[in-house]
Structure 1
Amino acid sequence: MAFTGIATATTAIAASPLDEGMTSYRHGNFEDSAKTFTPLAQQGNATAQYLLSCQMINGIGVSTDQPGGWTMMEAAAQNGHPDANMVLARRLEATNGAQNDIKLHYTIAAQKNQTQAMLWLALDAIDQGDDTTARNFLTKAWDEGDPRAATLLATRFAENDAERIEYLSAAAKMGELRAAAYLAEISREQDDRVGAVGWCAIASGLPGHAANVDWKEIGMAVEKTCAQYDEDLKPAARAQNRSNVDQFLADFFAGYKPWKPWRPCTIREP
């Protein structure tokens, strides 16, 4: 009897049908994922409904069935899948749907921590002159890790330069290129030539965002794109500045953890 608990604890847990379907979907085995999702969707599983609806609408792994796909997308939304609400909102925007219906879908998605929806609602609130609501949505989106929200908080609601730079730096470290562009201009205003060139390089999406960094290629790209920030320095000072920029970029990319924005019909990683 004593060994029963040990054996149970070490027994591998079999993947659920939904997990198997999602694995097939991730790997592009769409015929297999559709076969797995279909009975789950019929049982009301929102994730299976959402991903299968994407396949049906786009004719991937199954015959194209847009009416049926959109009906299933609506079922996924009704069963609580926030990405389905996002897709339905986007469809309504593209087809000039009613603004109230669009906002309702985004509101439901935001209530389920969909940060893309929170950003839409924040920008809508700004358009309506409701800064309090906008700031609340942006703060929530940033709490959920969306760096675009930090950029908007920095540019619209930061109470001082220190807070603005803190937001922008955190956003840039997660791959928000607009935040890096703002930091380049702030550095220029502060006569920080290293920061100005370095942040400009990052904002320009130059090499280094990948695992293998080619510093020669970076140097050539920096000279082409960001030279205006230190072109007035004397040659020796400029060479030293570029050396310091190299170190700035090396330090930046050592801790670089890019954030992936939401895209429709993809599986969000935990």
Structure 2
Amino acid sequence: MKKIISRLSSLPRINASRRRLAPSAMVLATLSVTAFAPAMAASALDDGMTAYRHGEFEKSASIFAPLAENGDATAQYLLSCQMINGAGMTANEADGWDMMQKAALNLQADASIIMARKLEASRAPKDHIRALYQQSADQGETQAMLWLALDALDQGKADDAKALLEKAWELGDPRAATLLANRFTKTDSGRYQYLRAAAQRGEMRAAAYLAEEARSVEDTAEAVGWCAVATGLPGHNEHVDWKSIGDAVEKNCAQFDKDLDPTARAANRERVDQFLASFFENYKPWTPWQACSVK
């Protein structure tokens, strides 16, 4: 959904025959309808999301449209993405943004973030932007929590910022751990633990900090290793061999052990290989928030 990313988810009436049912049968009939209708809607939404995920946008739009009309926030959000980007339909940005606004008003977390970003781009009042991010954060979206945390820091509300970052990290966002490490830890060991945990989840900025710290204590193996992680080198991909990793290390991270003599440097690279092998055994990269994506 390039446009979005570059700019930055009733019961039928009771008929006459049902009035003749006995009271007990009436209760059962009502229960069956109320239980089945949401299940049908959920099934349709799942079908639409599957089509959307596979790029079958005409199909997803045809499924989302009636759901959106009936107030389904997820359908409104994804349909608005299609409308704005012209995916599976003729682009209609005005109606698409109206639909996105409806999704945000219906507390769809991703739509709230997109609308907040749109307001930021237009330099809308900060309170309006903050309210949208808060709305998304209340739904458990860590992207919004990070914005609110930085906003709280700007306002001098350190305790509020820390609480938001701790919540975001509890939900798995490694960027929050990096911010906690750099803003709130009081010991070197505490900072290291946060940064390492963040790097283990794919946070490359945390790995960059660790590379510099390793260099400061002259641990050349970890310095090169963390540099490798920070520059996004492979290692968790079973189809990538270690020679490719070694070539990439030499290209991107040679500065960390360039002063060693050839023998010491060769030994250091063996330690780097061991470091990376150990690191990637527990590597579980986190998937960052992205506009108009289906989780």
User: Aligned partner of 2:193: which letter?
Assistant: E
Question: Which among 240, 247, 270 is matched to residue 220 of structure 1?
Answer: 247
Q: Partners in 2 of 1:64 and 1:143 — Cα distance?
A: 39
Higher RCO (C-alpha under 8 Å, 6+ residues apart): 2
Q: In structure 2, how many angstroms separate the alpha carbons of the residues matched to 1:147 and 1:211?
A: 24
After superposition, residues 76-115 of structure 1 pair within 5 angstroms as: 76-115=103-142
Give the Cα separation in 2 of the matches to 1:211 and 1:110.
Answer: 36
Structure-2 separation of matches of 1:211 and 1:45: 41
Rg larger for: 2
1:69 to 72, 91, 96: 96
> Is 1:51 aligned with 2:78?
yes
Report the counterpart of residue 130 of structure 1 in structure 2: 157
Does structure 1 residue 190 correspond to structure 2 residue 217?
yes
Find runs of 4+ consecutive structure 1 residues off by over 6 angstroms.
Answer: none
**Runs of 5+ unmatched residues, structure 2:** 1-38
Q: Residues 159-206 of structure 1: CA distance to partner in whole angstroms, max 9, x if unpaired? A: 111111111111101110000001111111222111111001110112
TM-score normalized by structure 1?
Answer: 0.91
Letter in 1 for 2:156: G
The aligned runs of 1:214-253 (5 Å cut-off) are: 214-253=241-280
Instruction: Mark the runs of 5 or more structure 1 residues left unpaired by the alignment.
Output: 1-12
Shift of 1:209: 4.8
**1:24-75 superposed Cα distances (whole Å, 9 cap, x missing partner):** 0000000000000011111111110110011111111122121211111111
| SS class of match (1:233) | coil
User: How far did 1:17 drift?
Assistant: 0.4
Aligned twin of 1:5: none
State percent identity of aligned pairs.
Answer: 59
1:173 to 200, 204, 208: 200
Aligned counterparts of 1:73 and 1:209: Cα–Cα separation in 2: 37
Q: Distance in 2 between matches of 1:213 and 1:173?
A: 19
Say whether 1:34 aligns with 2:64.
Answer: no
**Corresponding pairs, count:** 256
Alpha-carbon distance, 1:213 to partner: 2.2
Deviations 1:119-139 (A, max 9, x none): 111111111222111111111
Tell me how far 1:211 sits from its aligned partner.
Answer: 3.4
Compute the displacement of 1:220 (Å): 1.7
One-letter amino acid of the structure 2 residue matched with residue 264 of structure 1: A
| TM-aligned CA deviation for residue 233 of structure 1 | 1.9
Q: Distance in 1 between matches of 2:251 and 2:43?
A: 52
Q: CA deviation at 1:223?
A: 1.6
